[in-house]
Amino acid sequence: MIKKKSYLLILLSILLIFTTVPVNAANNITYNIKADERAYQYEWRYKFENGFVYRRLYNCTTQQWAGNWELVG
């Protein structure tokens, strides 16, 4: 009886190991969405000043700043 339980436990353990699906937590999902031609194009601009990194959002379509400088690190 004890051997049957141990065989059953081993069998269930093996089945559990081989039936689990590994999941990658760092999936990079990209969506192919056709952007509207009238949509604004933004990009981050960076500067290094006094050992600190700052970034500011820039509107490439209107060629104007879209925000203030913010400390990154």
Give domain status of residue 19, yes or no.
no
- The more confident residue out of 62 and 13 is 62
The answer to whether the pTM exceeds 0.85 is no
Containing domain of residue 69, as a range?
40-73
Give domain status of residue 22, yes or no.
no
Reference 61, options 37, 26, 45; nearest CA is 37
Give domain status of residue 9, yes or no.
no
Q: In total, how many domains does the chain have?
A: 1
Give domain status of residue 45, yes or no.
yes
Give domain status of residue 72, yes or no.
yes
Give domain status of residue 15, yes or no.
no
**Residue 53 contacts residue 44 (beta carbons within 8 Å):** no
- The more confident residue out of 66 and 25 is 66
10-31 average pLDDT score: 62
Query: Is the alpha carbon torsion for 7, 13, 15, 18 positive or negative?
Result: negative
Tracing tokens 């209107």 back to the chain, one arrives at: 62
Give domain status of residue 44, yes or no.
yes
* Residues 30-71 pLDDT 10s: 556 565 667 889 999 999 999 999 999 999 989 999 999 999
Instruction: Output the six-digit token pair for 5.
Output: 């339980």
Give domain status of residue 18, yes or no.
no
